[in-house]
């Protein structure tokens, strides 16, 4: 089953901060918004564990890549 989709309008300043956060975290705006909504609604524990583990693995890989670039 496909995930429901919705769209919202946000102020440009918030969009800039969202973009910067997603880039720094090595993730997507969608994932940031899902996590933020889950935390805001008090259901962060309902986010599937496997998804959270995969996201952490992606972030660790991105950080390792950044670390290698700094060393080079």
In a domain, 62, yes or no: yes
How many domains does the chain divide into? 1
Using a cut of 0.75, tell me whether the model's pTM lies above it. no
In a domain, 2, yes or no: no
In a domain, 4, yes or no: no
Predicted local confidence at residue 4, as pLDDT: 82
Residue 22 near residue 32, CB atoms below 8 Å: yes
pLDDT in tens, 23-64: 998 889 988 998 898 889 888 777 777 677 777 888 898 899
Q: How far apart are alpha carbons 28 and 64 in whole angstroms? A: 18
Q: Which domain does 46 fall in, by range? A: 12-71
Q: How far apart are alpha carbons 68 and 72 in whole angstroms? A: 6
In a domain, 34, yes or no: yes
Mean pLDDT for 2-20 is 92
Q: Which of 13, 59, 63, 72 is nearest to 32 (CA)?
A: 59
In a domain, 43, yes or no: yes
């Amino acid at each position: 089953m496909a995930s429901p989709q919705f769209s919202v309008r946000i102020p440009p300043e918030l969009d800039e901060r969202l973009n910067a956060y997603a880039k720094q975290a090595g993730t997507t705006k969608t994932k940031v918004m899902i996590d933020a909504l889950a935390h805001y609604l008090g259901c962060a524990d309902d986010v599937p564990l496997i998804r959270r583990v995969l996201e952490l693995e992606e972030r660790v890989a991105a950080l390792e890549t950044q670390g290698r670039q700094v060393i080079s």
